[in-house]
Amino acid sequence: MNLRPLLLSLLSFTIAGSALAAGPAPQATSPTQPLGGKVADTKAVPGQPRVITWEELVPKDWDPGKELKGIDLSKLDDSDPRANELLMKLQEVSNNAPTNPALNGVDVKIPGFIVPLEENKGEVTEFLLVPYFGACIHTPPPPANQILHVRPKQGAKFRAMDTVWVSGKLQTVRNDSMMGVSGYQIVADSVTKYSGSPKP
């Protein structure tokens, strides 16, 4: 197995997760890139869930790269046992990414992409919500603090990688699935098609 591309991918996704906490994404939100930028209005509206961004899920002081400083990937080849050790260490850092305790128990609304876990009669009854297209399916999973485990109160008629708004009470509950480790859980009051606007 060629480990170098996998190491680079996992490293970039892990560091990207921490970069979300450091500043805004470079692009504006759009229907084809719903998470490319910050949601325009995240002010609390009485009686409505708080619209949050993926940046808020990452603690501002988290530095996933601190254990990797000084490692030169160009000096590792696939036969080097240190390459496999580094891969395992990166996966552990990603799977144990810390959550933001300030969001525990908060009613939130967040956009993302669906990664189905369970389906029943053409409806998704359990899924992961991820911040970018292809996460957990075509690429290594994002850090745990960038994956939400969602159980809709009612089955949702969506497919893999459909873009949706999810509303419900956010819990800092870790879950390990075959598609990735999630740091958050939501029992969703609603799962609706992404429209580009957080308004109900």
pTM: 0.77
The tokens for 166 are: 């999810």
pLDDT of 31 above 90: no
The tokens for 161 are: 């990688």
pLDDT of 33 above 70: no
Q: Which domains does the chain have, with CATH numbers?
A: 1-200 (2.40.50.870)
pLDDT band at 38 (very low <50, low <70, confident <90, very high): very low
* CA nearest to 18, candidates 47, 44, 57: 57
Of the two residues 137 and 25, the one the predictor is more confident about is: 137
Rounded Cα gap, residues 39 and 196, in angstroms: 9
* CA nearest to 17, candidates 129, 128, 97, 96: 97
pLDDT of 24 above 50: no
Which is it for strands 175-177 and 163-171: parallel, antiparallel or unpaired? Answer: unpaired
Task: Determine how many CB atoms are found less than 10 A away from the CB of residue 27.
Answer: 10
Residues 139-166 pLDDT 10s: 788 999 999 999 999 998 999 999 999 9
